Amino acid sequence: MTQRGIATDLIHHPFRAPEGWDAVPVPVMKASTVLFSSTAELHAPRPRDGISYRYGLPGTPTTYTLAARIATLEHAEHCVLTPSGVSAVTLTSMALLQPGDEVLLPDNVYGQNRYVTTGLLSRLGITHRFYDPLDATAFAALLGERTRLVWLEAAGSITLEFPDLVGLLRACRARGVLTAIDDTWGGGIAFNPFEVAPALAPGLGADIAMHALTKFPSGGADLLMGAVCTRDAALNRRLVEMHEFLGYGLGQNDVEMVLRGLPSISLRYRAQDAATRVLARWMADRPEVARVLHPALADSPGHAYWRQVSPDAAGCLFSVVFKPAYDQRRVDAFVDALRCFGIGYSWAGPMSLVVPYDLSRSRSLGLPWTPEEGGSLVRFAIGLEEVEDLRADIEQALGALAG
C-alpha cells in the first residue's frame, strides 16, 4: 500500500479504544453521517418503529436513551423528542389531524398551542373550538362528527384552573376521540397522564402526553426540548412519520444536559412545589391581593378536580390577581422592585421568575374573576432559592405597589 497523507491518516485512524469501560453518565454520541459497514447494510430496509441508525437526524444512541427515560417518566411506552415544547405541540397536531378535521382546545391552553392552531392549522383547513375545561357537560356537547383531537392541559396556562380531567377524558373515550395532554406542569411527577385517577376511574387516561422538557426535566433554564409520548405503537408510528417529515433534530449536548438534569427531577419538583405553596398561601392573605390562582388553594378554580388527580403535587407556579385599585403601572412597579425574581418567560429552572400578563386577547370564554373583583395578573414561577428570602423580597416589593 502506498503511504497515505497525514490528513487521511487522522480521519481513517485505526486505533479503537478497548471495550469494557463504563461510567454513570450516558456517552454523548454525535452524528450527521452514520457509517454503514457495507453496501448490504445500506440497502437493508428501514425500520419504522422510531429507532433508526441510518442518519443522525432521527437520533443517536444518546437521543434514544433519553427518549426511553422520558417514556418512563411519563408512564408511556414510546417517546419522540423534538427541539422545543412548541415543536412537540405542532408535531402532535400535525400527526393526528387532516384537512376537514376539528381540534378542541381548553380556553386556558398554552399560548403557542393556541397560536399554532389558529394560525398554522386553520391554514391547512383544520378547524378548532375552545372549551371550558371545568365544564365536562358543555364539553361533551361540543364533540362532533369532525372532532378528531382534544388537547388537555392540567393545570391550564397562567390562570391555572385544574380541568375536570376525569369528566373530559370520559366524554372523549365515549366518542372515540383522541386526546393529547400537555403534561409540562405535572412534569410526569404529579400524575400519570395515561391513568389520571386510578381509584376513581381505572384505566382512564390520555392517548398522548406532550412535555416541554425545557422546564422540569432540564431544570437549568439553559435549553429547549420537547417530547411526545404514547403507549400505542400505531400512534407512535404516526408521530415518528411526522417527526421525519418535519425534520426535527436535536443537538446531543442538549440531550446530555437533560440526561444530567433528569435524576434530580422529583427532588426539584417537590422542593419547588413546597416553596410555591408557602408563598401562594402567604400571598392569598395579603390585603393588596384579590385572588391567588394555585390548584392547591381551596378557592382556586378546579381545586376539587386537582384533589382527584394530583393531591400530592401542585407544581411551581401561581398567579396573583391584584385588586382593581392597583393599575398596570403600579403592578409593573411592584414587578420591577423584586430583586430575587427575574422578569422572564419559562419556569422550573433555578431562578424564580415573574411575568405580568395581559390576558385580554388570549381567552375566548372569559376569566375566572370579574373586573370589579380583580385587575392585573402576575404569574410567579418559584425556583430553588430560600423560600424566606423570596417571601421577604415580595414583601418589600409590595411597598412599591402601594406607591
Q: Which residues bind ligand PLP (CB under 6 A)?
A: 84-86, 110, 112, 157, 182, 184-185, 212, 214-215, 224, 226, 346
Provide the minimum distance between the beta carbon of 187 and ligand PLP in the complex, in angstroms, as a whole number.
10
Q: Which is nearer to ligand PLP, 184 or 319 (CB)?
A: 184
What 8-state DSSP symbol labels residue 186? T
Provide the minimum distance between the beta carbon of 285 and ligand PLP in the complex, in angstroms, as a whole number.
28
Query: Where does residue 285 rank: exposed (0-12), middle (13-18), buried (19+ CB within 10 A)?
Result: exposed
What 8-state DSSP symbol labels residue 120? I
Provide the minimum distance between the beta carbon of 389 and ligand PLP in the complex, in angstroms, as a whole number.
25
Closest to 314 measured CA to CA, from 158, 185, 153, 156: 185
Q: Which is nearer to ligand PLP, 224 or 359 (CB)?
A: 224
Q: Which is nearer to ligand PLP, 82 or 230 (CB)?
A: 82
Provide the minimum distance between the beta carbon of 85 and ligand PLP in the complex, in angstroms, as a whole number.
2
Provide the minimum distance between the beta carbon of 296 and ligand PLP in the complex, in angstroms, as a whole number.
18
Q: Which residues contact 343 (CB under 8 A, 6 or more apart)?
A: 335, 336, 353, 354, 355
Q: State the number of CA atoms in the 13 A half-sphere of 263 facing the CB.
A: 7
Provide the minimum distance between the beta carbon of 92 and ligand PLP in the complex, in angstroms, as a whole number.
11
With CB atoms as reference, the residue minimizing the distance to ligand PLP is: 85
Q: Which is nearer to ligand PLP, 220 or 324 (CB)?
A: 220
Provide the minimum distance between the beta carbon of 164 and ligand PLP in the complex, in angstroms, as a whole number.
18
Q: Which is nearer to ligand PLP, 157 or 376 (CB)?
A: 157
Separate counts of helices (H) and strands (E) for the chain:
14, 12
Q: What count of other Cβ atoms lies within 10 Å of the Cβ of residue 85?
A: 24
Alpha carbon 141 to its chain's center: 28
Q: Which is nearer to ligand PLP, 212 or 314 (CB)?
A: 212
Q: Which is nearer to ligand PLP, 182 or 254 (CB)?
A: 182
Going from the C-alpha of 332 to that of each of 285, 340, 343, 361, 403, the distances in angstroms are 21, 16, 11, 19, 11
Q: Which is nearer to ligand PLP, 157 or 159 (CB)?
A: 157
Provide the minimum distance between the beta carbon of 124 and ligand PLP in the complex, in angstroms, as a whole number.
20
Provide the minimum distance between the beta carbon of 88 and ligand PLP in the complex, in angstroms, as a whole number.
7
Q: Which residues contact 130 (CB under 8 A, 6 or more apart)?
A: 104, 105, 106, 107, 109, 364, 365
Q: Which is nearer to ligand PLP, 259 or 289 (CB)?
A: 259
Q: Which residues contact 293 (CB under 8 A, 6 or more apart)?
A: 159, 160, 161, 300, 301, 318, 319, 320, 321, 368
Q: Which residues contact 79 (CB under 8 A, 6 or more apart)?
A: 67, 68, 70, 71, 227, 228, 229
Q: Listing from the earlier edge strand, what are the strands of the sheet with 102-106?
A: 78-82, 226-230, 208-212, 178-182, 147-153, 102-106, 127-131
